[in-house]
Amino acid sequence: MAALQKRPEIIALSRELKGIPLCEEYDLMISGMMYNPTVPKLLEARHLCRGFAADFNNLDTKTVTYDKIGEQRLELLRKFIGKVGDNTFIEPPFLPDYGCNVSIGKDCFFNWNVTILDTSLVTIGDRVQIGTGVSIITAGHDTSILSRRKFVEFGHPIFIEDDCWIGSNVIILPGVTIGQGSTIGAGSVVTKDIPPFSVAVGTPCRVKKTIQSAEEEEKDPNNPYRTLGNEDQ
């Protein structure tokens, strides 16, 4: 359902992002209130995103060496995504709606065909990995037929915290928070918050078990990952 008032904390978060289309309808949109997506500022923002995304998705990899492709793609991402951390790599095609409403942390990896409908904010932490065909959808519509005739809609923010793994073809719906370190199994539809350090799967997505934090794993002498990678440090 649509919110009845603006969310100051979400509006404050948006002001940390690059390229947002400042206007009254934008603040209504990211707050989860009913808004009109056809006002000029919002139309222009989506139009600009389409152009930059096309540049990103159509980068000619034959002209860029393998050791430079990450740097080139990150440079292109930073032209239309609100915030992107270092060493984040996204395989094309990547399909955001506004782009400017997306914040991605460092050391993330998205495989191809990730769609982000960022009507409201999408905040993704550090070291998040996302599989193929994932859809992150902040946009919502009322069941009212009149709302469609009036061409109004709403959106609620999505938060994916540090160290999460989102399996292939997962759909994440508006207003969801996925807690730190959680794994979402392939094909799941996430309709409600997932607590930290959970393994969750299904339609709707439900927690199947909890797991150790990274700090707990480091202290576990039976954990096989404790020593992996040490030779490169």
Q: Which of 170, 164, 140 is closest to 152 using CA atoms?
A: 140
Q: Are 118 and 138 in contact (CB under 8 A)?
A: yes
Q: Are 90 and 70 in contact (CB under 8 A)?
A: no
State the Cα–Cα distance between residues 27 and 121, nearest whole angstrom. Answer: 11
Which of the following CATH numbers is that of domain 8-205: 3.50.50.60, 3.40.640.10, 3.40.50.150, 2.160.10.10? Answer: 2.160.10.10
State the Cα–Cα distance between residues 108 and 232, nearest whole angstrom. Answer: 20
Q: Of 141, 148, 192, 219, which residue is the catalytic one?
A: 141
Q: Where are the domains of the chain?
A: 8-205
Question: Is 141 a residue of the active site?
Answer: yes
pLDDT tens track for 39-80: 999 999 999 999 999 999 999 888 899 999 999 999 999 999
Q: Which of 114, 66, 60 is closest to 90 using CA atoms?
A: 114
Q: Which two tokens stand for residue 44?
A: 């222009």
Q: Are 209 and 199 in contact (CB under 8 A)?
A: yes
User: Is the per-residue pLDDT at 232 higher than 50?
Assistant: no
Mean pLDDT (whole number) for 28-36: 96
| Complete DSSP assignment for 67-122 | TTHHHHHHHHHTTTSSEE-TT-EEPSPEEESSSTTEEE-SS-EE-SSEEEE-SS-E
Residue bearing the bigger pLDDT, 64 or 167: 167
Parallel, antiparallel, or unpaired for β 89-90 and 189-190? unpaired
